[in-house]
Chains A and B, each alone.
Chain A
Amino acid sequence: MIVDLEDRALADRLIDRAVRRGATEAEVFAQRGERTHIHVNRGRVENLTRAGLKGVGLRILVGGRLAFMSSSDFSEKTLDDLVEETISLAAEASPEPYNAMPEMAPAENVSDLDDPELAEIPLEKKLELTKALDARVFEEGPEIQNTEGAIYSDGSYVNLIVNSKGLFHTWRESFASMVVSPVAERGGQKQVAHYWTSARKFRGLKAPEEIAAEACRRAKLLLGGEAVPTEKVPVVMDSRAGTALLEGLIHAVDGENIYRGRSFLADHLGRKIGSEMVNIVDDGTIPGGVGSSPVDGEGVPTRRKWVVERGVLSSYLYDTYTARKARTVSTGNASRESYAARPVIGALNFYLEAGERTREEIISEVDNGFYVLRTMGGGPNAVTGDFSAGAAGVWIRDGKLSHPVAKVTIAAGMLDMLLGIDAVANDLVLDSATATPTYRIREMTVSGT
């Protein structure tokens, strides 16, 4: 169903039309894909979605003035009208000399981003897998009385980017993921936990037994959690909860936020912002990486770079526009949510490098502290550098997990958190674009009763 050549012709025609109508530069991003989504709850298929999707985004510059259009309708008339309208809209944009599209640069192939087998796997097999995951949670102990069910999703896409300066890239990608959400119950109290697996290829998904067991372990650990008295204590961040800090950091190192003064890390390049153990990488070239891509949303080849190396802030994230403004080069971090969105700065695979300790060792060294399994609401504020979020987890007493905790918040300055990281575990798994191993922060305020 996917004909690359047809889309290349469509892209060329749109660019040609835009240029003839007055665009000084023009770029087309086109996408086609197929998706499957299955939700099973207690053995029944609550939702089964299969769909194809397509769309095109056109970005134009008219002497530095930027306009953008997108459409899921590929008919000639609709697209031609939209090109006209986009050209006339550009007149309202302010001229911005730094606006420019990138030149063609060859991109290295990043392997294993596409699963050619995905389309061949029969729907029945995916249904069976989802049903197996849904059912499996009831084998994990008497506390598991209910479930929100199991969800399976996959998708395959062909992306194409072409611009009027001769840039052209096309690449395929796919993803598959599963999540299960068992509910543990005891004495009228209920607790849900979610646990998931995600990969570029179907074969990369973890087994249902493993996902179900971990989800149920978490639901049972959290069940009956209550607030604890307010105090400042060491906090151990579980790998799935630990990403909240990194998500704040992505906004804080976003080149656009930097020059607009919307980041607490403006003017911090080359300065120490974390402990020696903090090594943060952004890398679009990891084979099979969930956040990998040979080129970014503007067609600039991606690469691996240190964002924080041994605690020192070593790079911001730039697209072509912000890089020109900062008199540097793009780091390949223009990111597109879909064909319908203009590229904005985003991370690729953004992760805290693993340390050498085990999670158990890191917990066992804490006399009185909080092991955070999930955060909710709030989170980091990249402008002010404050971090505050709701949290649930388990209290640590004398190096051992003691009792469940909920309805508390954890708060600290993000710089204090990064500088206070005093242990990093060896359990990093790159199964999401933003990832961390388990790590410990010397002190955060836990607010409860």
Chain B
Amino acid sequence: MSVDLSKETLVRLLDVALSGDGDFADLFVEQTRTTGIGLAEDKIKSVSVSTRQGLSVRVISGREVRFAYTDELDERELETTARAVSLGGGSAGRLSPLVEEKAQKRFTVEVPLSEVGAATKADILWKANEGARDYDPRVSEVSVSYYDQERRILVANSEGRWVEDRQPLNLLAVSAVAVDGSVRQTGYERMSERRGYEVFEEVKPESVGQEAAREAVSMLKAEEAPTGELTVVMPRGWGGVLLHEAVGHGLEGDFVRRGISFFSGKLGERVASPLVTVVDDGTLVNHRGSLGVDDEGTPTQRTVLIEDGFCTGFLFDLHNARLMGVEPTGNGRRETFRHPPLPRMTNTFMESGESAPEDLLRDVRYGLEVRKLGGGQVDITSGNFVFRVNEAYLIEDGATTRPVKGATLIGNGPEIMKRVDRVASGTVCAAGSCGKNGQMVPVCVGEPGLRISAMTVGGTRS
């Protein structure tokens, strides 16, 4: 199908693309097929299938990037697209012979979801729905969403790289509402891996539903969250979204190169507590953020971003790496062929520390234990970030006591990272989606559980 353009076609298109003033050109071909199912009100509301295919061409001339794409894959349209980006003259770029490479296999698919029938998939949603509804009679509404996807990509560039990859992805998400009198609360849980149907035998869909219901029901009794500076304990797993926002985005190569990130020029400097080591690793088997090669054909790798509190690395795509005279790190990603690559995170997590999990709470006189964080946002220039807290409890005299609602966490990334005073052992990653410049890509975040000595908690109780 589409990704199977012949070598001759690829070479010809790269030739056309480089016939102007470009010194680098690449092609990206994508074919993605997605099946989606939605359940709500005890009904399968809809079932869908979609396919997307196309090619994009990029030419880089010094600092300038030109980009074009097409979803018509006939020879004439492909050539028109390549010609659209080959402006000017006096090309400095030469075409190296294409050498086909194999992408590293990062995924262990036993039963491809493309070969599983819709009825079997619908059953996954019914089980998740049942798990949530059976948890507690106060669960009043449950919605479940599911998709599976296979993304096939091909990358070829003027430096001779030529690589294809197949990227499976699936997701099961449950949102539950619990009602008690006039109080309404929500809970949310999601599971996503790059695997086949076997994943749903390992992680029971019912348990995903139960977890969403548990969160909604536990928050029914919640009081208004306190406000002001408190000691905050972050949970293992999804708590890593704090790192993603507070430091991850600021370490992306485009922001760093333009000198607009808080971390610009900070390589080798102390930017966090000595307990903090942060890694981006796109090679972890079956993780939602993993890839064999990135969307520019660069093999993914493990990049240490912060080591023992010192800034040790940034995340690079090809373009920003070239401009900064460094090696790309396999972080050039794009949502679809309609999007140009950007330096993005893959699986970003804090390395395990040495504290026992119970030590995080010990000697906290009054603080906040966060169990579930919602989404967050960061201003990479100032480093200021915000998170919504979905499930949290007060810590009083070293013990978890009452649930609290409506809390928001706010702070400055580098300041907060310096206040990490305990890191637990045992990092776990959790699946999410990351948005940047209007492009969403699948990622994981992770951490082992940690404590921040003081952080602003915004609530409604003064």
Which residue numbers of A lie inside 8 Å of B, CB to CB? 41, 44-55, 66-73, 78, 82, 85-86, 88-94, 96, 146-149, 183, 189-192, 225, 227, 230-232, 260-262, 264, 340, 342, 376-379, 381, 383-384, 386, 388-390, 392, 406-413, 445, 447-449
Contacts and interface: CB of A to CB of B under 8 A. Distances in A.
A342 B48 contact: yes
B64 A51 contact: no
5 tightest Cβ-Cβ pairs between the two chains A and B: A409-B458, A377-B386, A390-B386, A447-B458, A94-B43
A68 B45 CA distance: 11
Contacts, number: 241
A225 B141 CA distance: 42
A66 B388 contact: no
A389 B260 CA distance: 24
Most chain A CB within a 10 A radius of its CB, from B84, B382, B459: B382
A11 B431 CA distance: 38
Interface of B: 2, 35, 37, 40-54, 62-72, 84-85, 118-119, 121-122, 140-141, 143, 177, 179, 184-186, 227-229, 258-260, 262, 338, 340, 374-377, 379-382, 384-388, 405-408, 410-412, 456-462
A240 B144 CA distance: 34
B406 A96 contact: no
Given A90-B47, A230-B228, A262 B177 contact: yes
B67 A49 contact: yes
A90 B118 CA distance: 9
A378 B70 contact: no
Contact of A378 (B46, B179, B386): B386
Majority-rule SS of A interface residues:
strand
A26 B414 CA distance: 54
B41 A146 contact: no
A64 to B, nearest CB: 10
B260 A392 contact: no
Contact of B44 (A92, A377, A388): A92
Contacts of A225: 382
A407 B384 contact: yes
B456 A448 contact: yes
Contact of A377 (B228, B377, B456, B461): B377
B66 A409 contact: no
Contact of B119 (A45, A78, A92, A409): A92
B457 A447 contact: yes
A150 to B, nearest CB: 13
Nearest to B59: A48
Given A93-B45, A190-B260, A409-B386, A445 B460 contact: yes
A191 B382 contact: yes
A146 B460 contact: no
Most chain B CB within a 10 A radius of its CB, from A44, A67, A89, A413: A89
Contact of B67 (A47, A189, A192, A232): A47
A225 B412 CA distance: 11
B177 A51 contact: no
Contacts of A183: 260, 381
Nearest to B374: A378
A447 B47 contact: no
A377 B411 CA distance: 12
A408 B458 CA distance: 7
Given A383-B184, A412-B460, 4 more contacts: A89-B49, A94-B45, A384-B185, A408-B458
A407 B456 contact: yes
B132 to A, nearest CB: 14
Contacts of A93: 43-47
A392 B262 CA distance: 18
Contacts of B42: 94
Given A54-B71, A66-B46, A390 B410 contact: yes
A392 B382 CA distance: 11
Contacts of B258: 41, 146, 148-149
Contact of B460 (A71, A94, A411): A411
28 contacts: A48-B65, A50-B68, A51-B69, A51-B338, A52-B71, A53-B69, A68-B46, A73-B2, A73-B71, A88-B118, A89-B48, A90-B47, A91-B118, A93-B43, A94-B42, A190-B262, A230-B462, A260-B177, A261-B140, A376-B377, A377-B410, A381-B186, A384-B405, A386-B406, A390-B385, A392-B384, A412-B460, A449-B229
Contacts of B184: 261, 264, 383-384
A48 B67 contact: yes
Given A48-B67, A411-B459, A377 B408 contact: yes
Contacts of A378: 374-375, 386-388, 408
A189 B459 CA distance: 27
Given A45-B65, A73-B51, A388-B458, A411 B45 contact: no
Contact of B406 (A41, A388, A390): A388
